A and B are shown apart, each in its own frame.
Chain A
Amino acid sequence: MIDREIIEECRNGNLQNFRKVVRSVSPFAFSVAFRMLGDEEAARDIVQESLITLWEKIEKIKSVESFKTWFYRIVVNKCYDHLRKTKRDSEFRPDEQTWSVLSNHISEEPASELENRETAVIINLLTEKLSPVQKVVFVLSDLEEMTSDEISSITGMSKRNVKANLYHARKNISGMIRKYI
């Protein structure tokens, strides 16, 4: 993902090399944040905040190998805080036109790529009833395709806890599919 030397340079306070890190890690940080929050602007803010935290704490990374997990943890924690703060009050419902476009996309074979806006609509609809923890586990496991070991090291939860939350998240999402799709 990133050269070992670049991270070592950043740890020594080299800000120019940090630019390379920003360019390299921003896309996947945005991917995680956007899938969790379903809001492009909020996800961009989370990316910026996470990068600043990364610079502030980069000295504390125990090993360069654990950089990715460590940075994921920063992003996930910030998303988690954001989700807890902004609890959605009203039920999320897409309008008729958006819904028909989405239905077409879902039924297409092979599956077509969605725009950010469409992805946000689907994620917000399906994960509406999930708790922040369930949402984190679902995004990391089913969308980012991480193993339960990786999720466990990022979130700090036990593997059993990860699996339990994932089970409830999937069950909840199935309920939403039954209800809306």
Chain B
Amino acid sequence: MNSEGKIYDRILKTLRKSKPQLTGIEDIEENVMRRILLQEAKKGHSQNLFDYLFSWVYVGWVRTSLVAASILIVILFGYQQAMILKRVNSLTEREILKEGLMVTGTDYEIRDKLLLNKLTEGKSHDRQVKISERQMKRLIKAVNELQLKYDDLMKVIEDNPDLKKYIDEKLTENNRGKLKL
């Protein structure tokens, strides 16, 4: 062995013999314990819940997969519920045209109902007339307006004898024409 090799061996011998001395091991111990406790506290309850739920799984990656899958399912469920709620809200806001003949409601509406019955000659009950509630209301409104105009016209005619006489004559002529046919 050459001198270089001897020096190498001597240095190694010296270094092996000189074990590095760790002083203040208590400080390291306290620091480590403090940091671990801090970390444990940070983990919080969420992890405890998962540990509780999946404590029966001993394989680490299987447990992690199950936790991930359960989180995914919960998110999907929440999303689905939100979508359903949104649709229900949308449906309740939408106007529904009920294709029916029965009219229910206040006294005022009942009067309209009777008028409808009169107009349809009692056919509204046996479902021979097929109109919607909206159409029915428009019809009743139109009849009421027509009735008012008719009453006004009749009043004007009653107040004017010449006009009444003229209209009577015209009607008589008209009826005569009809008979001719």
- Which among A19, A143, A178 is the interface contact of B15 at CB below 8 angstroms? A143
Counting CB contacts under 8 A, is B106 at the interface?
no
| Chain A residues near B15 (CB-CB < 8 A) | 35, 114, 119, 122-123, 143
Instruction: Give me 19 A-to-B residue pairs in the complex whose CB atoms sit less than 8 angstroms apart, sorted by A's number.
Output: A15-B33, A15-B37, A18-B36, A22-B32, A22-B33, A26-B22, A31-B20, A34-B20, A40-B20, A44-B22, A106-B11, A114-B14, A115-B21, A116-B21, A126-B11, A143-B15, A143-B16, A177-B7, A177-B11
Counting CB contacts under 8 A, is A140 at the interface?
no
Q: Are A52 and B35 in contact (CB under 8 A)?
A: yes
| Chain B residues near A151 (CB-CB < 8 A) | none
State A62–B47 Cα separation when bound (angstroms).
Answer: 23
Q: Are B12 and A106 in contact (CB under 8 A)?
A: no
> Chain B's interface: helix, strand, loop or mixed, by majority?
helix
- Which among A43, A55, A113 is the interface contact of B18 at CB below 8 angstroms? A113
Query: Using a Cβ–Cβ cut-off of 8 Å, how many residues does chain A contribute to the interface with B?
Result: 45
Total A-B contacts with CB atoms under 8 angstroms apart: 98
Q: Are B25 and A181 in contact (CB under 8 A)?
A: no
Q: Known contacts A106-B7, A122-B11; decide if A44 and B16 are in contact (CB<8 Å).
A: no
Q: Are B14 and A55 in contact (CB under 8 A)?
A: no
| Chain A residues near B10 (CB-CB < 8 A) | 106-107, 111
Counting CB contacts under 8 A, is A105 at the interface?
yes
Counting CB contacts under 8 A, is B19 at the interface?
yes
Q: Known contacts A119-B15, A177-B4; decide if A35 and B33 are in contact (CB<8 Å).
A: no
